[in-house]
């Protein structure tokens, strides 16, 4: 599809987690752009009432992303209703706070079920339709933490976001002949419910107060609030998707950009410092070599 056609064509969006946060903002931004929207949520009834004014431009559907059968049913219903899916947005996700040492295993698994397996189920369900169309854009919501990692207390969430990125890179390679594009969105802090009622903070042992406790206080109890505007972010995503080309990753927010650039510079510096050691593991390379001088 040409850039001009993509920009002017009325597109069909399928959005998970549409009841609030980024999902709700994207529903509004896509509708404002003149597009059609399949808005999904675990409990879609309140959402359907909110969006009733848009009439047949919106289809609201129930969807628990952790249920692969439900994902297939929702995708099939969307295609049956609108004839196609042009943009699939995997947005549904949440994080709870706890140190790895004392985290409840069932809670860690439940988070991963939504944050990774939900993306897997919905994407897999949509692939046959996107492949038949020979087009489509898949927007995977990650986090800047899914690039740089290291945020104490949310190991399950960040591990899932790293997994989403790896999964999407493989998908992009496997489906390259089918005209399917992939965009991994990596926000920093935004004024959504992510750190509000959607997040449960489990008790933090005293030994972890300086790390997990400090993160919890900064994210959930900071007075300044998050810097990012979800409406602006949604508008940026809609405009980006309508381009003839999309970046593989889209950082959103000042902190996201700052953290990513700093992380990349440190990665390059470390790889360079250890380059000769790393190369020496191959049979054909000189061995042994001196380890880098400790800094």
What is the distance between the alpha carbons of residues 152 and 248, in angstroms, rounded to a whole number? 27
3-state secondary structure of 29: helix
Selected catalytic residue, list 143, 161, 182, 208: 161
Q: Is 182 a catalytic residue?
A: no
* Terminal Cα distance for the chain, rounded: 52
What is d(CA 91, CA 278) in angstroms, rounded to the nearest whole number?
38
Distance CA 130, CA 137 (A): 9
157 is catalytic: yes
Per the annotation, the verdict on 242 as an active-site residue is: no
The CA-based angle 96-168-125, given to 5 degrees, is 85
Find out whether 239 and 258 touch, Cβ atoms under 8 Å. Answer: no
Catalytic residue chosen out of the listed positions 157, 188, 208, 242: 157
Check 19, 142, 156, 188 and give the catalytic one. 142
What are the structure tokens assigned to 79, written together? 């295609």
Give the catalytic positions in this structure: 142, 157, 161
């Amino acid at each position: 599809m040409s850039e001009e056609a993509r920009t002017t064509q009325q597109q069909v969006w399928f959005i998970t987690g549409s009841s609030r946060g980024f999902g709700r903002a994207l529903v509004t931004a896509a509708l404002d752009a003149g597009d059609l929207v399949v808005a999904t949520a675990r409990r879609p009834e309140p959402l359907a009432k909110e969006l009733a004014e848009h009439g047949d431009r919106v289809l609201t559907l129930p969807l628990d992303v952790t249920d692969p059968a439900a994902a297939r049913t929702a995708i099939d219903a969307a295609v049956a209703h609108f004839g196609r899916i042009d943009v699939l947005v995997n947005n549904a996700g949440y994080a709870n706070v706890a140190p790895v040492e004392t985290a409840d295993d069932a809670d860690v698994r439940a988070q991963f079920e939504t944050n990774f397996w939900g993306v897997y189920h919905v994407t897999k369900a949509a692939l046959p339709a996107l492949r038949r169309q020979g087009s489509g854009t898949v927007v995977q919501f990650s986090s800047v933490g899914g690039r740089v990692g290291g945020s104490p207390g949310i190991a399950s969430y960040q591990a899932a976001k790293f997994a989403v990125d790896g999964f999407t890179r493989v998908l992009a390679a496997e489906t390259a002949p089918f005209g399917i594009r992939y965009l991994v969105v990596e926000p920093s802090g935004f004024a959504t419910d992510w750190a509000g009622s959607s997040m449960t903070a489990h008790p933090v042992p005293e030994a972890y107060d300086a790390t997990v406790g400090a993160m919890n206080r900064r994210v959930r109890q900071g007075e300044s609030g998050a810097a990012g505007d979800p409406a602006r972010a949604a508008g940026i995503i809609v405009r980006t998707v309508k381009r003839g080309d999309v970046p593989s990753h889209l950082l959103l927010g000042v902190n996201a950009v700052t953290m990513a650039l700093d992380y990349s510079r440190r990665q390059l510096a470390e790889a360079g410092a250890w380059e000769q050691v790393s190369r020496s593991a191959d049979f054909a390379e000189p061995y042994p070599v001196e380890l880098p001088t400790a800094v």
